Structures are given as structure tokens and as C-alpha cells.
Amino acid sequence: MTPSARLQAAIELLDAIIVAAREQGAAADTLIASYFKARRYAGSGDRRAIRELVYQAIRRAGERPESGRAAMLGLAEDHPELRALFDGSPRGPAPIATHETGASAATVPDWLAPKLTHIDTAALLERAPLDLRVNTLKATRDDVLAALLGAQPTRFAPNGIRLADPIVIEQHPLWRDGKVEVQDEGSQLIALACRARPGEIVIDLCAGAGGKTLALAADMRGEGRLIASDSDRRRLSQLPVRAERAGAANIESRLLDPGREAEALADLIDTADCVLVDAPCSGTGTWRRNPEARWRLTPERLDRLTALQARLFDLAATLVRPGGRLIYAVCSLLDEEGAGQAGRFAAAHPACTAGRPFDEAGSPRGEGVLLSPGADGTDGFFVASFTRPC
């Protein structure tokens, strides 16, 4: 493909990503993958170059641009060499009209900026590293470090590994044998905050495809009950295969009916040694991986999320046994979803005591701790740890 054709392909992809962001459609990565699947003629160099252009344009535009062309014209303001590629060639973009302007540059959408003043927002758009968690049911961190060139231990998580260069880990024998899982160090720390032990009853209320469930299973050494629930059938259905690969045999899955979650969990009231609520959220802490998520969030969507978080937080509290632990986490840096939720919960449950979820990482925020890309080098999370009185 010519450089102009690559630019036009990036513009078309950006158009699709903008529509998907407006209509809560597929993620940018998914759209890029299906775009190339339908265009086998694009070689690996073309794909890499187009993807790079798309992500540069997404990272540069804080607000959702009007079109892919506007996003790319904005990028061309920082990279003037791109302007010459708007050349009107058969597969290239039309020439730039005299008064045509690009999308403006910003890290954060205007309405969110005042809510993120406590954060180094530039770090939210840096490239995320590839972190692995060593599955201690099958391997030790030393074994894995020795087997992976350029791998380093993570700063805080004891079973974490950070790779200098991204690799396709799913093709590596370590992954196929269930010795490692892809998991950001921040997610590993959330699972560690649960302090799950062998023989306990642990509930992962919003387990998704089970990323943190598998970390909890390793901490429990396969002993005790680990209940993984979620309202998303597709995500939850991925867990059995992952659990089998990881050699985690003590996981029970429960599909929840949204709005009627308590019904499927009624037998667990007052029983759990630990409940983890890894609540659905805006994902502001994971913009490094999904920078177009900035274009998806609206004040109305944030309101719906905070209402759901409060409901799941309160539901989780009913499942904890006297003396048990309740861990609330969101991959968000917004106080509405993090410290605000924990503060509301603490006020409504004055007998529950908040403790520090882990010792070294994170900065105190309200009743919990904030992990952030800038300060901790992890994805952004808020996490709070409460103990129910005996």
C-alpha cells in the first residue's frame, strides 16, 4: 500500500471507531482486527503502520472527533509530513481544503478534566507494558523469569513479570501450559488485597472472564470454595477453559440476572470469608489500553454506573460473614466511582472498619488507595478493604 492509501485506511478505521464510541459498539482493537481480516492484501508492514496512525490520532484527541478525517487532520498538525499524503490519489484521502481544520488536541475530555486533577493524566495515555502473572499452582516466578528473555519482576506484585517487548504470549508454551496469565500488575494487586487463603469461602462477585478469579484460586491452592459470578454469560463462559488450563479446580460459576443478583446468591448470605466486588466502571484507569474509551463516557453513563456500583457494593456486604472481608475495586480514577463509593459505604456501615489493602503500592484516597499509571506504573484502580465486625 502507498503511504497515502495507508492514511486513507486509518481514516476509515477511525470513522468506524468514532461511530462505535458514540453507539457503545465494539472496541477499537476489535474493529481493527476485523478490518484487516476483510483486507488480506494488507501486509504486516501496512497493518503496523495503519494501526500506529489510528492510535496516534486517538491518543491526540480528547473529545470524540466529528470524523476520522478530522482526527487525522488534527494529527497532521503535529506531524506536518502527513499533510502531503492528503494528495487526492486514487486510494488516498482528498486534498486538504483551504479552511479545513483538524480535531483539537487534549488528553482528557473537557467535562472530565476537573474530575482528574489529582492524577498525572498524560501518563494515562502512555503505552501500557505487557504484564504477566505467574500461576503459582504450576510454576514459580524464578522459573518464568529464566525462560523469558528481557522479563523483569514487577515492582509490587510478588508473582508479576513485566516484559520489555510485547510478544504474542498466547503462542508461548508457558501460556499454553497455564504457567502464566496476561494480567496487569494493578489487577494482580487487587486480587492480593483479598488475602484469600486455602480453605476459605471467597466470592468474586463481578468475575467477568475470571482474570482475578484465577489469581484468587492460586492463592487458595485449590482448597476451599471460590464462587465466580457475573451477569454476562459470554464472559463467564470463558472461565472454565481458563481454569482448566490453570489447573484451578475449586471454582464454581454462577450467572446472575441483572437486578435479581441476590436470588442466585441467597444460599451464601453471611457466609463468605471474603467478597471481591470488581465493579463495572468507566475504565478511566485503563485508557492506556483503550484510549478511545475517553470518547464513550458521558455524564449519563457515569450516573448509571455509579448507581450500579452502589447496589453491587451493598449486595456484596450481605454475603460477608461476621469478621470477613469486603474488597471493593474499580479500574477508574474518578472519585464518584472510587473514594466516593467507599465513603458512602463507610457512612452507611459505621461498624465496618477500613484497612490498607496492601502495604507499598498506591496513594491513600478516602477510605482506600489509588493505583495510577503515573505514580505506580500500573493501570489505574481504586481499591478499598473493609472488615465486617465479628
Ligand X SMILES: C[S@@+](CC[C@H](N)C(=O)[O-])C[C@H]1O[C@@H](n2cnc3c(N)ncnc32)[C@H](O)[C@@H]1O
Quickly count: other Cβ atoms within 10 Å of residue 320's Cβ.
24
Give the residue with the Cβ less far from ligand X, 13 or 230: 230
Active site residue 331: yes
CA 154 to each of CA 38, 132, 160, 186, 219: distance values in angstroms, whole numbers, following the listed order: 38, 9, 5, 10, 18
Does the annotation list 219 as a binding residue?
no
> Which residue in 207, 347, 226 sits closest to 279, CA to CA?
207
Answer whether 239's CB lies under 8 Å from 212's CB: no
Residue 101 buriedness (CB in 10 A; 0-12 / 13-18 / 19+): exposed
Give the residue with the Cβ less far from ligand X, 74 or 362: 362
The DSSP code for 169 is G
Q: SS3 of 180, please?
A: strand
Q: Which of 194, 206, 281, 331 is catalytic?
A: 331
Residues 6+ apart with CB under 8 A from 237: none
**Percent composition of the chain: helix, strand, coil (DSSP 3-state, to 5):** 45, 15, 40
> Which residue in 306, 180, 169, 294 sits closest to 247, CA to CA?
180
Q: Strand pairing partners for 225?
A: 201
Distance CA 291, CA 32 (A): 14
Does the annotation list 278 as a binding residue?
yes
Cα radius of gyration rounded to whole Å, the chain: 22
Alpha helices in 61-98 (DSSP H): 68-78
Does the annotation list 257 as a binding residue?
yes
245 residue type, one letter: R
Give the residue with the Cβ less far from ligand X, 9 or 203: 203
Residues near ligand X (CB under 6 A):
187, 206-209, 211-212, 230-232, 235, 256, 258, 261, 278, 280, 312, 331
Strands (E), the chain: 130-134, 151-153, 160-163, 180-182, 201-204, 225-230, 251-255, 272-278, 320-330, 353-355, 363-365, 368-371, 381-387
Give the residue with the Cβ less far from ligand X, 10 or 376: 376
Q: What residues are designated binding site for S-adenosyl-L-methionine?
A: 230, 257, 278
Active site amino acids: 331
Q: What residues are designated binding site?
A: 230, 257, 278
